Amino acid sequence: MDLMEKIEGNVEIAVLGGVGFNLYRNFKVQTVQTPYGEVTAYYATIKGKEIAVIPRHAGKNHIPPHRINYRANVWAAYTLGAKRIISTNSVGSMRGHPVGRFVVLDDFIDFTRSRPLTFYDDITMHVDLSEPYCPEIRTALRIALEKQGFSYIEGIYACTEGPRFETRAEIRMMSQFADVVGMTGVPEVNLAKELSLCYASLAIVTNQACGMTTQKLTADEVTEVVGKAQDAIFEIIPDTIENIKETRNCRCRFAREGACL
Write the pLDDT tens digit of every residue in 188-246: 999 999 999 999 999 999 989 987 776 776 777 777 777 777 788 889 999 999 999 88
Residue 124 falls inside a structural domain: yes
Domain count within the chain: 1
Residue 2 falls inside a structural domain: no
Q: Residue 100, Cβ neighbours under 10 Å: how many?
A: 15
Residue 261 falls inside a structural domain: no
Domain span at residue 214?
9-254
Residue 50 falls inside a structural domain: yes
pLDDT in tens, 114-151: 999 999 988 888 999 999 999 999 999 999 999 999 99
Residue 4 falls inside a structural domain: no
Sort 170 into a burial class: Cβ within 10 Å, 0-12 / 13-18 / 19+: middle
Residue 134 carries which side chain, given as an amino acid letter? C
Query: Is 70 exceeded by the pLDDT of residue 76?
Result: yes
Residue 259 falls inside a structural domain: no
How far from chain centre, in Å, is Cα 89?
6
How far is the CA of 158 from the CAs of 1, 27, 94, 171, 216, in angstroms?
Answer: 31, 32, 10, 10, 21
Which has more pLDDT, 174 or 20? 174
How far is the CA of 154 from the CAs of 101, 180, 239, 254, in angstroms?
Answer: 11, 10, 18, 25
Q: Is the dihedral of CA 72, 74, 75, 79 positive or negative?
A: positive
| CATH code where residue 72 lies | 3.40.50.1580
Nearest C-alpha neighbor of 45 from the set 21, 30, 22, 28 = 28
Query: Is 50 exceeded by the pLDDT of residue 2?
Result: no
Residue 154 falls inside a structural domain: yes
The reported pLDDT for the residue numbered 60 is 62
Residue 1 falls inside a structural domain: no
Query: Is 60 exceeded by the pLDDT of residue 5?
Result: no
